[in-house]
Every structure is written in C-alpha cells, then in structure tokens.
C-alpha cells in the first residue's frame, strides 16, 4: 500500500522543491469553519496537512496553539470529530497527505488499536505523538504501522548522535526537526543552524527532513526551504485564524491568502538559491 506522504515527497524531490506543511488545530475556531479551512488548504499550495488533535495540556506548544486547543475543546471538539473531519476531507481530496499531531492520553483512552484502525480508515497518513518516546511507543506504533500509517518522530538541537538511531528506528514518512529548544512559536533558528542540523540528520537517515517551530513569515520559510525537504508553519497560521475570528465569514479566505504567500516562498526557494 503506497502512503500519500511517500508519493508527495517523491514528487517534490523530482521537482527539486521543498514542501510546505501547514498546521492548524481541528475544530478551531469551530468545527464548520475548521472543516472549510482544511478543505481549502491544498489550493493554497499546502503539500502536507498537519492537523492538531486538541488536548488540554499541550506541553510542547506555545500560547497561540494552547489557546486554539482550548477554543476547539470549548466548542465540543473530540478525537472522534477530528477523524470525522479527515473522513469528510477525503470525499473530495484523495491525494493530499494528512498527518495528525497530538498527545498520547486521548489515544490511550480511545484505545491504540481502535484508533489506528479508525484513523487509517478515515484517510490519515502519518502520526506525530509528541509525548511518546520511541522506547515506549510499541503499543501505539505497531498497530499504526500495520494500518499503513507512518509514525513520524521529532528530533531537536539536543538530540545527540548516540540517541539518533533510537529515534530513527521505525520512523517513517519524514523526520521532524524541531529547530529550537523551546515551545512552538518562540525563537527562530539561524540559517546556519538549520543548514548544519539538516546536514547532520541526513548523515543518519534517508528520510526527508521537515523543519518547524519558530518560522513566522515567508522570508524565514524560504530561508529554511533552501536546506530542508519541507517547512512546517504552525503558530503563525493559528494566530491568523485567531485574528480573523471577529469577522469569521472571511476567515478561510484570509488565512488561505497568508498560507499561499508562505507556500509560494517555499516552492521558489531552490530556484532562488540557484539563481
């Protein structure tokens, strides 16, 4: 069974382009608007959709994503409804990869095997579980991989070479490099730091390397795209969602205009670097 993530990264390599990965929180600011935004993202140039599963204690996320999680949960968002969003998305889009990102507690409560079955059936391609270390993820990872989904692992500036083989073991889809030591939406890594980190990771793995955390605008995204296989932007997009809540009728249009600017910068990065 071919995974959509593998297909998309193969296409990007063929075109010598970095990919653009957007992050939004499922159900933020409400289920209906979130669904419309999800379905509009591919037309705005998004290569991979990362969809956050709302959680009450998202310890890796900064204030913007924490607030989005709380808005979604206050609106009645659940894990079942998040999978329902993916299922509805797949009725009109069979090619754009979707990665669910979140924390293990809700999945443990749902049941790891049942979650793996239901997520794959809904059309999910990969899973990032922030607080589940590789040494402890077998009960979740094995059923997820059997269902055809990639388990995507995080690395950070403090992940040393001795630990990398543990992180890389049973990883799939892509490797997510957290470019700063801290929470989402905080400081930004320099171009030299990103270049050195991507180069080091590629000495250990053939997986595509996606770089995220702290990327706030098109210029920063384009800089990272010169070195990474994909660029992840989360907090800045979530902040656009929040800023447009007072005029919700234009939220999807305005957020997608912002995303289109980011994705265009990422897709042009390699050509600009070669010019």
Q: In whole angstroms, what is the distance from residue 35 CA to residue 131 CA?
A: 26
**242 is annotated as an active-site residue:** no
User: 175 in helix, strand or coil?
Assistant: strand
**191 is annotated as an active-site residue:** no
Radius of gyration of the chain (CA): 17
Q: In whole angstroms, what is the distance from residue 120 CA to residue 116 CA?
A: 6
152 Cβ partners below 8 Å, 6+ apart? Answer: 99, 126, 127, 128, 171, 172, 173, 174, 175, 176
Upstream peptide bond of 248 is cis (omega within 30 degrees of 0): no
Written as six digits, the tokens of 77 are: 């968002």
Q: In whole angstroms, what is the distance from residue 65 CA to residue 24 CA?
A: 8
Q: From the candidates 28, 39, 47, 61, which is the catalytic residue?
A: 61
Q: From the candidates 50, 125, 137, 229, which is the catalytic residue?
A: 50
Residues belonging to the active site: 50, 61
């Amino acid at each position: 069974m071919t995974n959509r993530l593998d297909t998309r990264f193969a296409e990007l390599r063929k075109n010598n382009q970095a990919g653009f990965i957007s992050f939004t929180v499922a159900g933020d600011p409400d289920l209906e608007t979130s669904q419309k935004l999800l379905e509009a993202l591919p037309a705005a140039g998004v290569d991979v959709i990362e969809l956050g599963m709302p959680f009450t204690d998202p310890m890796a996320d900064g204030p913007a994503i924490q607030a989005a999680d709380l808005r979604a949960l206050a609106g009645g968002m659940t894990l079942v409804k998040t999978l329902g969003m993916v299922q509805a998305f797949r009725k009109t889009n069979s090619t754009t990869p979707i990665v669910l990102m979140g924390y293990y507690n809700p999945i443990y409560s749902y049941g790891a095997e049942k979650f793996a079955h239901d997520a794959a059936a809904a059309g999910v391609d990969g899973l990032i579980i922030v607080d589940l270390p590789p040494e402890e993820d077998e009960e979740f990872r094995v059923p997820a991989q059997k269902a055809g989904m990639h388990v995507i692992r995080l690395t950070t500036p403090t992940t040393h070479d001795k630990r990398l083989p543990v992180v890389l073991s049973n990883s799939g889809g892509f490797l997510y490099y957290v470019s700063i030591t801290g929470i989402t939406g905080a400081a930004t890594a320099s171009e030299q730091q990103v270049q050195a980190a991507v180069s080091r990771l590629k000495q250990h793995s053939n997986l595509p390397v996606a770089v995220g955390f702290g990327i706030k605008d098109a210029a920063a995204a384009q800089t990272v795209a010169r070195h990474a296989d994909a660029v992840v932007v989360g907090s800045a997009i979530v902040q656009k969602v929040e800023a447009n809540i007072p005029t919700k009728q234009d939220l999807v249009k305005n957020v997608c205009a912002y995303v289109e600017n980011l994705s265009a910068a990422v897709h042009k990065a390699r050509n600009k670097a070669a010019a």
